[in-house]
Chain A
Amino acid sequence: MKIKTIHISNYRKFDNVKLNMEDNITVIAGANNSGKTSLVELFNSIFNNTRSKLCCDDFSIIECQKWSNSIYPIVYSAFTTGKPKEDVITDICKEVLSVTKSEEVALMPPIEVKIQVDYNGNEDDIRHFADYIMEFEPNNTSFYFIYRYALNVELFRKTLDNEYEKFLTRFIKLTRDENKEIDAIRIIKEMLVLLYANSCEETANFSDKAYKNIVAMDMSSFKSLFNYHNIMAGRNLDDESSDRTKILSKNMIDIASQEDDWKDLIKNLPDQIIQPIQDAKIQEKVRIASLDTLSETMEAISITNGGHAGNIVIDMNVTEEAVHSLLKSITCAKYQADDHYLSESSQGLGYSNLIYIHLQLEKFRKTIDPLIVNFFVIEEPEAHMHPQMQNVFSQYLINYYNREKGIQGVLTTHSHEVVRTASISQLRVLRQVSPFKCNTYDLREFQNSIASNKELLDFYDWFYTINFPDIIFADKIIMYEGDTERMLIKYILRSKEFELLRSQYVSFVQVGGAYAYNYKPIIEFLGIKSVLITDLDYDKDSSNIADVLISGTTNTTINKFSEIILDNPAPTVQVLYDWKEKSPLIVVGCICLAFQGKRDYYSRTLEEAMLARHYGVTALDVKLKKEWIEKRNKDKLKFVIPREGDECSIRTIVLHTSNRKTDFMYSVILNNLVDSMLPAYIKEALLWLTA
C-alpha cells in the first residue's frame, strides 16, 4: 500500500498544492521558509495518533483575515444590541452559517487533505482497506481519503457561550474607549479567529476517485491505516544534548528487544543476577549502612506520634524490565579507530546523527505492517554533517528506501548534496511564490515533459549534478558567460539599487550562449525570475557598420529566442537592434535576455561594450596606439594594445586582452570605473531582476 498523491488545500501557505509521491522515496527540497516543516507538521497531525492536532495557526493567514474582517461588524452589532446572551449567540451563529451571502465569507474554507492510496493489484493484501472501496473499475487500484479540519457549528456555539463574557468586556471597553480602537479591534479579530479555530474539528472520510461521493469514517480507523513515523534529525540531538551519549546505545537495546528470541535470551538473567547480589550480602550492607540508623530516627518519631509507623525492610527483586534497563545503561556504543575505542560523544554531532537515523529506521523496519501504509519521514538528514558526509549518507538513505520495498519515505532537505544524490524524478521542489503562498514543483513531471528530447535529457543528466541544486533553491538566477561578468555583477550588486536582490538567494550559473537556452525549460517550470547575460557575438570579421548590421550571430540562445518571439531563427544584427529598440528588455516567460544593443557602440562582447562606453567610440573605430596608451595610463586600466601597426580599434584591443580579461576587470573595479563603464544592457537587466 503506497500513498500516491497528497492534495493539500487551505493549509497555512499551501493554498492548493498537490504532492505526487514516489513509491520508494520522495525528496522534498526547498530553501528555508519554503514550507518543508509545515508539510511535515501536517503529516504529523494527519497520520500520527499521538501528535497534536491542527490549530488556529494552520489556517491560511489570508483566509483568517478575510473571515475576521467580514464577521467583525456582524459580531460587533450583535454584541452591542443589548439583547440577552442566548439571543446574541443565536444571532451570531445564524450569520456565521449564512453562506448564502454572495461575496462575504461566512466560513473559512476548511483545511482539506485528499489522499490517494494505491495498491499493487497483483501482490497487495487490501483487507484493511476493503471497508473503503468506492471504485470497482477493473483497472482502479486506489483508495481515496479526505482529511478535513473544519468548523463544527455546535462547538462554535458552545465555545462562544464559554467565552461570551470575555468578548462582552472587550466590546464594552471598545465602545467607551475610542482612542485605542484600532488596537482593540485587532485583538478582538484575533480572538474571533481563535474562537473559530477552537471550534473546528478534524474528520476523516473516504470517497470515490473524483472526491465527490464522500462518506464519513472514524478518525481512529483512518489513522490505523497508516504506520507513520518521523524523525527530525536536526532537532533531536540539539534538544537532548545532555544525554546524547546514550541515545545510540539505548536505541540498540530497544531494537534488539523487538526480536522474537529476546525474551528467551534474557529469561534466566533475573535469577542469575540476583544470586551474586545475594551472595555478596549487599542487602545486608544496605540495611546496616542506612536502615539501621534510619530505624532509630523512625522509632523516635513513632513514639512522639504515639503510634507505630511500621518497619522499613529491604526486598530485592530483579525483574525483566530491570534487566532491560540494566542492559541499556551498560551498553556503550563505541567507535573503533585503529586500536582505540572512542566513546559516542567523542564523535561529531553529524556522526551520531547518522547512526541515530539509521537506528530509528531499523526500529521502524521492525514495525512494518504490509497490510497498511508504512510511511517514514526524515526531516533534513543533513543536519550537522559536512558536505561529503551528506553526500555519502543521503546516498545510503536513498538506497535504503529503494531496497526496502515495504517502506515509503520522504526526505526533506535544503542541502545541495542531498539533492544531488536523489534522481531528478524523485525530487519535489517547494518554493515560496509570494509571502503567503507556497507551491510544489514535481520534477518527475518535468522530466516527463522533456522525455521526447534526447539531447535535452542528456544535457540535464550531466548538468544535474553540477548546477541543478543551485537552481532549485534559488529565488533568482543570474546566468553569465564568463568569470569577468560574474566579477562585475557581484560588484554592481553592492550598490543601493540592488539592496533587495542581496537579501535573496541569487544563484549564479555560468553558461555559454551555446547552451544557455537549455536552461529555459527548468527555469520556466520552476518559475524563477532569471537574467541571462550573454554576448551579441556577431561575425567578428565585420569591419564596418554596414557589415555588422547584416551579419548574424553565432549565439544559439539569441537565435532561439528570436525564433520564439520574432519568428526569425537567424536574425541579423539590424533585426536584433531594432528588437531591442522597440522593447529595451527582452523577456520571455520569466527570463530576461540581456545582450549588447545599438546603444552599446556596436560592441559584441562585454569588454568591448565597457571600453566603448568609457571612451565614447565604437568598437570598430580605429585610433592611434599612442592615444590608447595615454588613455590606458591615465585610467590605470589593464588592457593589451597590439604591438603590430600604428593604430587599432577596441575590437583588436579586446582580442589581444583575451588572456588577461580578469586583470582588466580587476583594474576597472579597483579604479572605481564601474559606473562610467557599466553597459546599459546589464544594468537594465539587473534592475528588472531586482524589481
Chain B
Amino acid sequence: MADSLKNCFLVNAPAGSGKTTQIKAMVKKCILENPRDNILCITYTNRAADELSRDVDAKNVFIGTIHSFLNSFMKSYFSHRDILDLYYEVYEDKIKQRIDNSGQDDHIMASNNKYKDKYSELDFETVKKNIEKISYNKSPFNTLYYGGLSHDDLISFSKNIFDHYPIISKRISSKYQFIFIDEYQDTMSDVLKIFYNSVAGSNVQLYLFGDRMQQIYKNYDGSFEEQFECFDTTQALLTNYRSVTDVVLLLNNIYNDSPFNQDNSPEMKLLSADFQPRIVITDNISTSIDDIKKSDSNTLVLYLFNKERFSDIGALNLYQAFDCMEKYSFGKTYSAVNVLTTHYDDNPDPLMKLLYCLVEMVDNYQTQKYGLIVQTFKSYKSIFCEDGWYIKTHSDKQRLFNILKEIFDVFQDESKTISELLTVLERNSIVDSVYMEGVQSDDENKEAFNVPVIELIRVVKYLRNPKVSTQHGVKGESHDSVLFVADDSYKNPIVHMYRFFEMWGQLSISLKEFHQFYYDYINELSDLQNTIGMKISELKKDSFVKHEKVICEKISSILDQFRCNPYFEFICKERYRQFLVKPGVTKAKDCLKESSVFGVLSAYKLFYVGCSRARKNLTILMDQSKIKGDFEPQKNKFTEIGFKIE
C-alpha cells in the first residue's frame, strides 16, 4: 500500500451512516473554526446542494454541483486566447467531421445550413474566427461551432485546461482550504483528478464522501484506484442510524470487510425487528408478494425491473411512454427512470420538469398556499411566462386565480390527459412560449401526451413516500419493512443475481477484491480492444480471423494473469476453457464479455443496498426456478450471514 497522504481523506459512508448530516456538520465546523478560509463543497445534484445550503449560510462557502462550480470557476478563462487555442486543438477533428457531414445526417445538414445563413461561410477557419469565447451550454451535446461545451465536455475540457495550465489548477488550491466531494463513487475520475492534482503537495484538505457499494452510475471508470490507495481512510463513518441490530450485522457480513464494520446507534439498538431477516423461496413470485404485502401493508417492495415497479405505482403508461423514447434509450446519458424519478429541480427532461413542477404546486393549491405558487413561477423564469402569472393589480390577482383554478381542476379529473393539461397551459400563456414549443414539437413526446395526469400525481406521491422501488432506485430511501425481489436481467440493467448467489455459496466475497478484479479485468479487455481497433462485441468471423493471433495471446495471458483469482475462476474460467478447446468468434465473444463479470458485481452491490434499505424487517424473495447450481452451499451461506430460510 502506498503511503497515505496527510491532506486527502476518503470517508467511507455506508447506507444509513448519516453521511449528509456528517458533511453538514463538518462544513459548519470548518466555517466556525476557520472563518477566513474558503470552503468548496461539491454535491451530486442541485437538490443536495440546496439541502446543504439551507443550513449553511456563509459567504466563504461554495456549495454546488461540479458543473455549477466549474462553470463559475472556469468562466474567466473561457475567452482567453490560449484556452481558445486549446479548444481548437481538442475539437478540430470533431468540428471538421461535422462540417464534412460524411454520413449525410439531416440534422447536421440543417444546422450547417443555418450556420452558413448566418455567417455566409462554414469552414474550420470561419468557425475559429467567430468563436470569441467558449461556454457551458447546459445540454447533453456540444455546440461545436459556437464553443458550447456539453455536460460531459465541460468536465473533460476543464480537465484538459488544468493539465495544460497547472497555474489554473493551483488557483483552486490557493483559493479553497477545504474541499468536500460527495458521492465520490459516482464522480468521474477526471473530476477526482482535477482536485487531487490541485491539492497534491499543498495544505488543502480534500475530503471524499461516499460508498462504493452504492455506485449506481458508470461515471467512474476505475482509473483513480491507485490514488485512492493513498487516501487516509481512518475517518469512516461506522455508526448506522437506520437499521436494527440484526440488519446491521447482516450488512457487515455482506460487506465482509472488517474496517468497514458498522455498529448501530443506541436508538436503533432499542428497536427490534418483527422477524429475523429471511429468505423466502417461492414458485409463484406475484402471489408471494401479495401475501407479504397483505401481512404488512407498509412494506416497500424492491423490484429489479422498472416496468413492474411503475405498474405497482399505477403509472405504467407514463413509464412506457418514456421508456420507448430514443433519447432515453440504452447508452444515453439519462434513462426513462432517471427522468421519471428526478425532482423537477434536476430533471433533465423539459416536459417532465414542467409537469412535476406543476404537480408539486397541486398541494400548495389545495392547501391555499397561493403565494408559494407565485414564488415558484417566479423562480423558474425559463419555464413560466410572466405574461401569464405576473401580478401588478387587483384584477391581475383575480385573473391568476381563474387560471390556477383552470389548471388545477385538470388534476382533479382522472380522465384528463397531459395533452389536455398542456392545452390549458397554452391557452393561458402561463408557460414560456419557446419552452412550450420545444416540448410540443418534440415528436418523441407524443406518446406521453396521452397519459392521464393522474399518473403524474401517483409518481410524485410515490416519490415522496415510496412503497415500491427498484433495487437501484434513489439512494437514501429507507423503510421499516423491505421486500427484495431477487431477479436476473441480461440487458439494461445487467444484473446476475442468482449467479451471484451461486458464487457466494462457494466464495467469500468482499467488495474491495471483487472491484479490484473487475477493474483489472476490464483493463485487459480494453487493452485488447485498443489493439484490434474495435469492440469485442462487434467482432465478426472475418475480423476474428484477422486478429485471431492477438486474441488468443490475450486470452492466454488473461488466463495466466488471473490464474488463482477466485472471482475469475468462478465467473470466467469455464468459458475460457471452452474457447481453448475450440477457438472461434462466438466462443471468443462469449468469454471476453465484460457483462458476465459486471452482472455479478452489480448484483452484489444491489443486494447490499437493497438490504440496507430495511430499517427493521427484511425479506428476500427468491424464485425457485431461477436458482442456479447447488442450493445447499447457498443456503449455508445465507444462514451463516444471518438469514433464516423459509
Contact = CB atoms under 8 A, between A and B. Distances in A.
Nearest to A125: B392
A126 B397 contact: yes
A121 B398 CA distance: 11
Given A130-B374, A131-B378, A213 B394 contact: no
B369 interface: yes
A403 interface: no
| Range class of the B interface residue count | 10 to 19
A276 B24 CA distance: 63
B390 interface: yes
A122 B394 contact: yes
Given A208-B368, A215-B369, A131 B392 contact: no
A349 interface: no
B401 interface: yes
B370 A136 contact: yes
Contacts of B368: 134, 208, 213
A127 B392 contact: yes
A67 interface: no
B371 interface: yes
Nearest to A136: B401
A537 to B, nearest CB: 60
B371 A136 contact: no
B367 interface: yes
A133 B371 contact: yes
Contacts of A206: 371
A136 B390 CA distance: 15
Interface string A134-173: 1110100100000000000000000000000000000000
Contact of A125 (B370, B375, B393): B393
A525 to B, nearest CB: 35
A121 B396 CA distance: 10
Contacts of B393: 124-126
Given A136-B397, A136-B398, A138-B398, A126 B370 contact: no
Contacts of B398: 136, 138
Given A119-B394, A126-B391, A131 B367 contact: no
B545 interface: no
B372 interface: yes
Contacts of B397: 126, 130, 133, 136
Nearest to A221: B375
Contacts of B378: 131
Contacts of A135: 370
Nearest to B379: A131
Given A136-B397, A136-B401, A213-B367, A131 B375 contact: yes
Interface in B391-416: 391-394, 396-398, 400-401
Contacts of A121: 394
A132 interface: yes
Contacts of B367: 213
Given A126-B391, A136-B401, A131 B374 contact: yes
B371 A134 contact: yes
A126 B397 CA distance: 9
B401 A126 contact: no
A310 B470 CA distance: 76
Given A119-B394, A125-B393, A131 B401 contact: no
Given A126-B397, A131-B378, A215 B371 contact: yes
Nearest to B401: A136
Nearest to B370: A133
A218 to B, nearest CB: 11
Count chain B CB atoms within 10 A of each CB in A119, A125, A133 and give the residue with the most: A133
A52 B390 CA distance: 35
Given A136-B398, A136-B401, A138-B398, A127 B371 contact: no
B374 A133 contact: yes
Contacts of B396: 126
A91 B391 CA distance: 50
Nearest to B404: A136
Interface string A10-52: 0000000000000000000000000000000000000000000
B79 to A, nearest CB: 34
Nearest to A217: B371
Contacts of B372: 215
Contacts of B369: 134, 213, 215
A102 to B, nearest CB: 27
Contacts of A122: 394
A127 B391 contact: yes
B391 A133 contact: yes
Interface string A435-456: 0000000000000000000000
Contacts of B374: 130-131, 133
Interface string B580-607: 0000000000000000000000000000
A660 B473 CA distance: 104
A125 B391 CA distance: 8
A206 B371 CA distance: 8
A206 B392 CA distance: 19
A251 to B, nearest CB: 35
Interface in A187-220: 206, 208, 213, 215
B195 to A, nearest CB: 32
A126 B371 contact: no
A127 B400 CA distance: 13
A134 B401 CA distance: 11
A124 to B, nearest CB: 8
Nearest to A126: B391
Nearest to A127: B392
Question: Which of B371, B393, B400 has most chain A Cβ within 10 Å?
Answer: B371
A208 B394 CA distance: 17
Interface in A468-505: none
Contacts of B375: 131
Interface string A51-67: 00000000000000000
B213 to A, nearest CB: 31
A407 to B, nearest CB: 22
A340 B398 CA distance: 63
Contact of B391 (A130, A208, A213): A130
Interface string A104-125: 0000000000000001011011
A206 B364 CA distance: 14
A661 to B, nearest CB: 66
Interface of B: 367-372, 374-375, 378, 390-394, 396-398, 400-401
8 contacts: A119-B394, A126-B391, A127-B390, A130-B374, A133-B391, A135-B370, A213-B367, A215-B372
The 8 closest A-B pairs by CB, nearest first: A130-B391, A121-B394, A136-B401, A132-B371, A133-B370, A131-B375, A133-B371, A127-B392
Interface of A: 119, 121-122, 124-127, 130-136, 138, 141, 206, 208, 213, 215
Given A131-B371, A133-B374, 18 more contacts: A121-B394, A124-B393, A124-B394, A125-B392, A126-B391, A126-B397, A127-B391, A130-B391, A131-B374, A133-B371, A133-B397, A133-B400, A134-B371, A135-B370, A136-B397, A136-B398, A141-B394, A215-B372
